[in-house]
């Protein structure tokens, strides 16, 4: 645990008592704060109270006397589409609102660091797609190269549940827009922006607000090095804002499909090869085509971003290349779960929007595509350029019939359930085909989250081996 600094003898309220909320309450208490807490869920409140937390109804004005800060969990809206009533009350009373990310950044460094030979560093990764894989890949590379490292944030361990820093350690954090939007302190040593595509627009009041939440990691954080994907206009704009001039190598530009020119520092992938350029000259090249844990152009972008971040903390190209080959990928993200009779089964349940599904479709040929669920605004019409790779689509869930109307001449079948989709796809697949779960939709119509959906797919595929 990382005790929160600067809160001794203060009365601090915590809103939301899920994993991060309970960890936040414990870290505040360890820092000497008097913690009161609230959650909208009756059962959640009861469970937290049984663990020793002081539950106070923060919807009542009388309970705010002496409160100096409100710490909220990331899933609770603070502005759009409308503020949670407790957050609105805090704002009306002039009580500062923060989250666990802000507390982490103001508490991670301690006086113990003065005795370290090498100061610990924080690499923070944000973006729309690929940030989990990029975060895990950076963490894996650091481990393989013998660097002390921890991983947390939106993946793995909550930030305040991480262990205090040790000499030379690198903490790698995945940060969502929900986390960067509100944090009052953001001070990473290396900040990574993977890409931007429309997502969570209701929470941020539109695409501009969504990008602004991501941008805070750079504008507020002032990282020593910024690794920025420039394949979208927003990334290109952000890179330009961060650079003092064309040769400013504090910004490392990243691309997954174009050669990047200029005198600065860039890392890009083309035709399966990663290239690093500095001061107009090539510094390294890596063949990504045989890196089985990173299939497809979207994973090549993740590889470029992770490579750049690791170079920014001093790792050598050959070290990074060797670590690429031992990376097995993340569950539910272009994860090969089996190969049966020459048919590859890939779980990309995390592809919950059209952009992520497009990248999954581009990674394979001869696809038996399992798609559907709780569709998002705009449908799947933007996937039309990639449907020539689809031998047949098997549509499940709430939006199955809506998706069917948009598939045109692409062979498809509304099957309804994952069981039927896997059964039909496996029965019809030929050697060389890929059965790909890339839903282009949320899971909430049939599953509690995308992980459960992916686990169900993997279990059904595993059962095929016994057949």
Provide the annotated binding site for ATP: 127-133
> Which sign, positive or negative, has the C-alpha torsion 129, 132, 138, 141?
negative
Sort residue 447 into left (φ over 0), alpha (ψ -120 to 50) or beta: beta
> Which sign, positive or negative, has the C-alpha torsion 447, 451, 453, 459?
negative
Return the structure tokens found at 151.
């991983």
How far is residue 256 CA from its own chain's centroid?
18
**Element containing residue 124 per DSSP (H, E):** strand 121-126
Number of helical (H) and strand (E) elements in the chain, helices listed first? 15, 19
How far, in Å, CA of 309 to CA of 107, rounded? 23
Return the structure tokens found at 40.
């909208």
Residue with tokens 């569950």: 331
> Which residues are annotated as part of the binding site?
127-133
How far, in Å, CA of 123 to CA of 138, rounded? 9
Q: How many CB atoms lie within 10 A of CB 172?
A: 32
Phi (first) and psi of residue 428, to 5 degrees: -95, -15
CA distances from 269 to 191, 193, 277, 278 (A): 20, 16, 11, 15
**Rg, the chain, Cα only:** 23
**Element containing residue 228 per DSSP (H, E):** strand 225-229
Q: Strands 11-15, 34-38: parallel, antiparallel or unpaired by DSSP?
A: parallel
Print burial letters for 282-317: b (CB count within 10 Å at least 16), e (below 16).
eebebebeebebbbbbbbbbbbbbbbbbbbbbebeb
Q: Would you name the residues annotated as active-site residues?
A: 131, 154, 200
CA distances from 419 to 145, 303, 424 (A): 42, 33, 9
CA neighbor of 142 nearest in space, from 120, 172, 163, 116? 172
Q: Strands 343-347, 434-437: parallel, antiparallel or unpaired by DSSP?
A: parallel
Omega before 81 within 30 of 0, i.e. cis: yes
Residue 250 and residue 215 in contact, taking contact as beta carbons nearer than 8 Å: no
Return the structure tokens found at 450.
């995308």
């Amino acid at each position: 645990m990382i005790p929160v600094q600067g809160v001794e003898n203060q009365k601090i309220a915590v809103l939301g008592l899920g994993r991060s909320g309970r960890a936040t309450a414990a870290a505040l208490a360890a820092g000497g704060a008097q913690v009161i807490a609230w959650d909208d869920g009756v059962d959640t409140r009861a469970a937290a109270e049984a663990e020793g937390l002081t539950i106070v109804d923060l919807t009542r004005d009388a309970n705010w006397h002496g409160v100096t800060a409100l710490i909220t969990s990331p899933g609770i809206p603070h502005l759009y589409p409308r503020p949670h009533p407790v957050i609105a009350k805090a704002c009306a009373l002039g009580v500062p609102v923060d989250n666990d990310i802000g507390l982490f950044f103001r508490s991670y460094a301690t006086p113990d660091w003065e005795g370290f030979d090498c100061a610990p560093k924080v690499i923070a990764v944000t973006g729309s797609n690929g940030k989990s894989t990029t975060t895990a890949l950076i963490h894996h590379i650091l481990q393989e190269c013998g660097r002390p490292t921890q991983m947390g944030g939106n993946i793995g361990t909550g930030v305040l549940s991480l262990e205090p820093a040790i000499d030379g350690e690198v903490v790698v954090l995945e940060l969502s827009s929900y986390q960067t939007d509100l944090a009052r302190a953001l001070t990473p040593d290396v900040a990574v922006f993977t890409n931007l595509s429309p997502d969570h627009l209701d929470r941020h009041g539109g695409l501009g607000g969504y990008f602004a939440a991501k941008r805070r990691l750079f504008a507020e954080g002032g990282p020593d090095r910024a690794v920025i994907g420039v394949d979208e206009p927003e990334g290109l704009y952000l890179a330009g804002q961060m650079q003092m001039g064309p040769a400013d190598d504090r910004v490392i530009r990243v691309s997954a499909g174009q050669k990047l020119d200029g005198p600065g520092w860039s890392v890009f992938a083309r035709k399966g090869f990663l290239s690093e350029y500095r001061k107009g000259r090539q510094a390294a090249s890596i063949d990504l085509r045989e890196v089985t844990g990173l299939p497809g152009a979207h994973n090549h972008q993740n590889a470029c971003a992770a490579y750049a971040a690791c170079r920014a903390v001093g790792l050598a190209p050959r070290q990074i290349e060797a670590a690429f080959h031992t990376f097995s990928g993340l569950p539910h993200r272009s994860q090969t779960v089996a190969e049966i009779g020459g048919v590859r089964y890939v779980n990309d349940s995390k592809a919950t929007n059209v952009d992520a599904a497009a990248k999954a479709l581009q990674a394979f040929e001869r696809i038996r595509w399992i798609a559907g669920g709780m569709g998002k605004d705009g449908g799947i019409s933007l996937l039309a350029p990639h449907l020539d790779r689809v031998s047949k689509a098997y549509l499940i869930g709430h939006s199955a019939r809506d998706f069917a109307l948009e598939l045109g001449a692409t062979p498809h079948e509304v099957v309804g359930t994952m069981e039927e989709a896997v059964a039909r796809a496996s029965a019809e697949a030929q050697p060389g085909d890929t059965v790909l779960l890339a839903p282009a939709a949320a899971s909430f119509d049939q599953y509690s989250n995308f992980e459960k959906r992916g686990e169900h797919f993997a279990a059904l595929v595993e059962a095929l081996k016994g057949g």
